[in-house]
Structure 1
């Protein structure tokens, strides 16, 4: 972090306090590691459950290409597919439900009202980013259009019923009528960023995984860059994708390493940072089981019988 005073404000936003050195000395550090992980592997098109304390419970199942994963209650996880979404049983990995009539879907997200939001681009007869809200069985409830964009990844429903959407080097907040009420540019001029995920924090700042910027970026309410979290070089930072803010305020993020099935020996693909920017825990994937991890949910302490979304602090909370 740039300075201790700013770090203290950031900690307060996560319900923490204190001031510590801002950067790790390198490598995996001490901390209380998570024990139960849901992981989405883009390189292998695979959904996995990993229990670090009981590996005999682990499972690995193939899934279609797509984006995002979410706890949706009844012991299920939802994954977006290229045709809609699938739901899988968390205990076994078995597919228990699917919707596959919306070809061109990029990502899927269960809303607080129980419907599902599908995301696409130049889709459903409209130009730009298109969000389709569907009910159970696929009935279309609402279509939302944000024209003028040529890229989209994930959408997050905010605590104020708007949507945070990542679009390459841009993150914006939109209303359900298609109005854009906030927009910011990410800061990394060297290459296209392909920003992945954004969540709003309690103090109005926005936390974004910057894709090829290989960091997490913290944007002020006016859209200016306030700080970044990333590194060290030993973990081979490459593309920061799906992340989760834990109850402690720490942030777990996936460090995707590239397309294809042979990326499992590259980088350390699961990283946990303190709000101060220290790498407090990391998990080295088994290259025989994983290639390039794109999404993560740390299940410890979460109620699998209830659907979850980000709350006003950006943390996963039942709804």
Structure 2
């Protein structure tokens, strides 16, 4: 079956959805680029599932737009062939085999029996599993079948909500490789999950929302980028010297500098050269989990954060 080569970004612009007097999604804007895996994160009730449903034309926005490329899902020439989606691993007829479930949808997606067998193998459902009825599937097997259905048309856009649900450690590692293979082929991959440590290993960039609004949008590599915490008797002069040497220096207040793009040894040598007394020099590492909770716990600020803003 031919593969789709046209790249499609996901463009969310001012997206708002109200249910009664409550805003589930509030002026949400972000872009998911082709060739990358983007994590879509937020606490329960943040508006993630509602946003994904608006992207797929299942919920109508109150205002704003959720676009695949430049089109709403329903306005795409071939929406089901353009976007593969896994929102919930259910909706299977319990009396059908895994293979027959895929065969039911294949003709509408331009797929044949050969493609059905390809995706079954790709998701790790062997011949025995493919011939079994879905009522006998474990949660992990149902998850793999749902992913197989999303992959049937070899879509250029893949959207998954909690794709690791029910998967064992080997299955999670397999999924990581599958998503990376899609992104490496130039496809657009959007993944929502509560497994923050796993997301840090899988995704290239991350969008975090809380109460329906973006609170962070940036590359995940910058989240875990190590920093060095420094105190010096002349912090301003040390900051200037480090900046001139190519480091990124943030004044964290209370006499503390946080330095990126320079290791402890380089900082110490710079201070020695400038004859500045350093009273504290400690390496720090950060995680996606720390960032997530700092932005979404009660009392956290609601101002959107981007890589450019957090680097200053």
Higher normalized strand content (fraction of residues): 1
Please indicate the TM-score interval, normalised by the length of the shorter structure.
under 0.3
Q: Which has the higher contact order (CA 8 A, sep 6+)?
A: 2
Q: TM-score normalized by structure 2?
A: 0.27
Q: TM-score normalized by structure 1?
A: 0.27
Higher normalized helix content (fraction of residues): 2
Which structure would you say has the larger Rg? 2
